[in-house]
Amino acid sequence: MREYRFALATLAATFSLLVVGGLVHATGSSLACPDWPLCYGQFFPRMVGGVLFEHGHRLLALAVAVLATTLAVLVFRSRRDRAARGLAALAVVLVVIQAVLGGLTVIYRLPTAISSAHLATSMAFFSALIVLARRLRPAPPDAPPPGPRGLVGLAALATYLQLVLGALVRHTGAGLACNTAIPLCDGGRLWPSGGPAQLHMIHRLWGAGLAVLVLAAAWGPLRAALRRGDRARAFLALAAPVLVALQVALGLYTVVTYISVPVVTAHLAAGALLLADLLALWLSLGGVAAPAAEPGPARELAARTA
């Protein structure tokens, strides 16, 4: 139980890191600290303006890295489950790669490929923590049989790809490539001629398709959960279409408000929550079953001497 609670705390910190990372780009603070890993040669510079967002993001990332490493140590010390150990090790590897990519982003002055890979890695790390937390969660004694989950997994993968695509839109400056025209691009075109505008429209079209996929994926698990009186799974299934609707609305509002900082940050946060919800739903339907509770060293000794 201790490892499970620590995994949840690490997840909460990681979600906060994702939101703060969105604020760094949205406020134009990505190069507020021209050096890395320090900021103007200091570990604690004056936290004002863009430095507050940029260096605050770095400090929070350091805290998340410490949490992930501590979680891995706890898992390796108290669990024999190879899957849990593998996920814990993967989380540490991903958080290290994420930190390196963050540093390269600053050193090479925001190259699109590295900046987008940084976001992709952060979402992969977030996903790995969700799967690990599920693995560490004590299995309920009366767990219902797995329900329909194929479309749910596909929707989770499509959401991850949409988040990466959104990062490409942001880092290529294509957020307003279609001006403020909705739902078509500027001039009423579904497929514009310019490269940035085409990327922007791919993101919009993928979002529309994702909304349909999420609705289809959530319907089966929702019906099954309601029939069994399973409130937890019903909540997860119902939250998915609500979150995807919110995500689409925030995406459109981002364009209308000329990429307002609170709106675009909320757009990223809603996308991360949608990914987390779909992964949690998929796992609850049998994606990764939690193993039986393992006794600790003290309990093993007591059992042998009893």
210-220 pLDDT, tens digit per residue, is: 999 999 999 99
231-248 pLDDT, tens digit per residue, is: 989 999 999 999 999 999
Read off the pTM: 0.90
Give the confidence band of 292 by pLDDT, cuts at 50, 70, 90. Answer: very low
**Mind spelling out the 3-state secondary structure of 216-242?**
HHHHHHHHHHHHHCCHHHHHHHHHHHH
Cα 243 to its chain centre, rounded Å, is 14
141-157 burial, b if ≥16 CB within 10 A, otherwise e? eeeeeebebebbbbbbb
What is the overall mean pLDDT for the chain? 90
**Contacts of 294-299 spanning 24+ positions with Cβ under 8 A:** 294/78, 294/79, 294/80, 294/81, 296/78
Arithmetic mean of pLDDT, 165-181: 93
27 contacts 56 by C-beta, under 8 angstroms = no
Percent of the chain with pLDDT over 70: 90
Give the confidence band of 145 by pLDDT, cuts at 50, 70, 90. Answer: low
Give the confidence band of 189 by pLDDT, cuts at 50, 70, 90. Answer: confident
Residue 289 pLDDT greater than 70, yes or no: no
